[in-house]
């Protein structure tokens, strides 16, 4: 662990457990240079503690990049709770979790992520002020996330196909959860043709019936005959192997950490497939969460621009990253990472 470059970059990593409730969680604080580390709480049945740690570390670094590029006065962090939420999540465990993050104090703030609902966030908020995304403040982040992803997709379609809007575009959406379904609905409303896959048959059936989507097996969605592949399920879906199979000319979606590694990104670039860095597209959740952060003790100095304006800015930011990548002979992922590191390096 100590040798991992991702671990090395972190300011702090905390491990918590609470035997009475079975809580085991990891909070990774990548950077507080721009402000308190912010990032959601993911609740998953990880195969191993090591897998959970790696996920927390990679996600918290991505949060640093995401907030830096979005111009937010916060740093990057992430929390993962280890276990099957359907089996162990209950009020006592969520309260124990809230007490854990209270021990970190004002250098970390969290919210919803995969496996955590708005109701769960509200339960944690009963004991902790360091959690946003309750219906009393910013609400469900998946809605602004989906809106932000749409702004990003619009930039992708413009850059790659020189087309304004989605009319006739074939978009393959992987994952029809909170964000993926929101993206699919908006794409449908704007004239796109949808190809979808999800492990949840009910979600697929609803998209077929209500959005005129074509369903494909989960194993085939990445190689669907589409213009854009939009990963909106979990991370790591673009591997060396899948990168070689993608038929779309652009990859852009909501899922965090879509590239399993740098090689996968290189293969996409070699094949002329435009990759939109996920942490640029999916910043809507943290952008909306920031609207509530001002109310948290010690954070009154945070200045947050209006939500709609901040979400719309994702379009232009992505266009600038594509242009910069082209000018520098880099991939968009490399250009975005360098830009984010420069911003973090300059500090507050």
Give the footprint of ligand NAI on this chain (CB under 6 A).
Answer: 113-114, 141-142, 145, 174-180, 197-200, 203, 218, 232-235, 254-256, 282, 285
User: Using CB atoms, what's the residue nearest to ligand NAI?
Assistant: 177
Least separation in angstroms between CB 270 and ligand NAI? 25
Tokens at 195, concatenated: 């190809």
Q: By CB neighbour count within 10 A (0-12 exposed, 13-18 middle, 19+ buried), where does 94 fall?
A: buried
330 annotated active-site: no
Catalytic residue among 24, 66, 78, 89: 78
Least separation in angstroms between CB 341 and ligand NAI? 20
Number of Cβ within a 10 Å radius of residue 182: 23
Q: What angle do CA 343, 305, 337 make, to 5 degrees?
A: 25
Beta strands 250-251; 37-38: pairing state: unpaired
The nearer residue to ligand NAI, 120 or 198, going by C-beta atoms, is 198
The nearer residue to ligand NAI, 50 or 200, going by C-beta atoms, is 200
Tokens at 84, concatenated: 């099957």
Tokens at 53, concatenated: 């740690």
The nearer residue to ligand NAI, 171 or 179, going by C-beta atoms, is 179
Q: Is the dihedral of CA 260, 261, 264, 265 positive or negative?
A: positive
The nearer residue to ligand NAI, 113 or 120, going by C-beta atoms, is 113
Least separation in angstroms between CB 2 and ligand NAI? 27
Question: Rounded to whole angstroms, how far apart are CA atoms 47 and 163?
Answer: 43
Least separation in angstroms between CB 314 and ligand NAI? 12
Which element (helix H / strand E) includes 125? Answer: helix 118-125
Residues marked active site are found at 78
């Amino acid at each position: 662990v100590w040798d991992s470059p991702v671990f090395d970059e972190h300011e702090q990593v905390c491990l918590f457990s609470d035997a009475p409730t079975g809580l085991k969680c990891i909070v990774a604080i990548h950077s507080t240079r721009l402000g308190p580390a912010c990032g959601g709480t993911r609740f998953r049945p990880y195969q191993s503690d090591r897998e959970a740690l790696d996920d927390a570390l990679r996600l918290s670094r991505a949060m640093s990049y995401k907030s830096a590029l979005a111009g937010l006065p916060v740093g990057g962090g992430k929390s993962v709770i280890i276990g099957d939420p359907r089996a162990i999540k209950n009020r006592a465990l969520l309260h124990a979790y809230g007490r854990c993050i209270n021990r970190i104090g004002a250098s970390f703030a969290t919210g919803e992520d995969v496996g955590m609902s708005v109701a769960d966030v509200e339960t944690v908020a009963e004991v902790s002020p360091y959690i946003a995304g309750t219906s009393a403040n910013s609400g469900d982040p998946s809605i602004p996330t989906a809106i932000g992803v749409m702004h990003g997709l619009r930039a992708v379609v413009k850059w790659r196909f020189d087309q304004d809007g989605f009319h006739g575009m074939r978009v393959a959406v992987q994952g029809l959860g909170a964000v993926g379904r929101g993206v699919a609905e908006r794409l449908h409303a704007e004239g796109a043709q949808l190809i979808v896959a999800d492990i949840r048959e009910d979600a697929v059936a609803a998209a077929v019936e209500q959005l005129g989507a074509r369903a494909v097996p989960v194993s085939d969605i990445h190689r669907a005959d589409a213009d854009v592949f939009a990963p909106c399920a979990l991370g790591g879906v673009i591997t060396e192997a899948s990168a070689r199979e993608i038929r779309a000319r652009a990859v852009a979606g909501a899922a965090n950490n879509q590239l399993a590694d740098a090689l996968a990104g290189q293969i996409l670039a070699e094949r002329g497939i435009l990759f939109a860095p996920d942490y640029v597209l999916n910043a809507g959740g943290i952008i909306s969460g920031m609207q509530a952060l001002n109310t948290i003790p010690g954070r009154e100095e945070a200045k947050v621009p209006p939500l709609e304006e901040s979400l719309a800015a994702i379009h232009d930011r992505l266009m600038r990253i594509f242009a910069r990548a082209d000018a520098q002979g880099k991939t968009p992922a490399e250009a975005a990472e360098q830009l984010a590191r420069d911003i973090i390096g300059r500090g507050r």
